[in-house]
Copies of this chain bind each other. A is one copy, B any other.
Amino acid sequence: MRPPDFARMLRRSGGRATPGRLRLMRALWKEPAPVTAARLQKSLGRTLNLATLYRALDALAGVGVVRRVDFRHGHAHYELAAPARAHHHHLACTGCGAVEDVSCTLRPRLKRASAFSAITDHAMEYFGLCKACGARGAERVSRTRTEAME
């Protein structure tokens, strides 16, 4: 699978296909799991200012190109969303921070939400222990510890 036409995606979503955002999307495309803004910046060779990066991520998330994920680590993680990337969810190890994708098999079929007119998105993350951590009996690891590990 070759990378989608990011330039077109950006323009169609009302934005501009700036070199910065294109590099950002290509970098995200290569990431195997959701990344923090800081790591993303590093993977871009520290070009692209962090504030700019956050603004881009926010804008992209706003039009649904990027997805913001929460692993309860105290900071956000980002990943490409559909259509560049198939809809899916995550399994996050509370021991070491390992993350694994889970295909989204369940169709969240809520009964008509009383006070809502539309459901536009949903987030779902599973938490548990990967085999390694489960084996070593890593019952509970402090959040701080977990963060340090990524």
Residues of A within 8 A of B (CB): 58, 62, 68, 70, 72, 91, 93-94, 98, 100, 102, 105-106, 108-110, 113-131, 133-135, 140, 143
Contacts and interface: CB of A to CB of B under 8 A. Distances in A.
Nearest to A99: B115
Given A106-B108, A118-B128, 16 more contacts: A91-B110, A91-B119, A94-B120, A100-B116, A105-B110, A113-B126, A116-B130, A116-B134, A117-B128, A117-B129, A117-B131, A117-B133, A121-B127, A122-B124, A123-B123, A123-B124
16 contacts: A68-B72, A70-B70, A70-B72, A100-B113, A100-B115, A100-B116, A105-B110, A106-B109, A113-B128, A116-B129, A116-B134, A117-B128, A118-B128, A119-B126, A123-B123, A124-B124
A110 B100 CA distance: 12
Contacts of A105: 110
**Number of copies of this chain that the complex holds:** 2
Contact of A122 (B68, B113, B127): B127
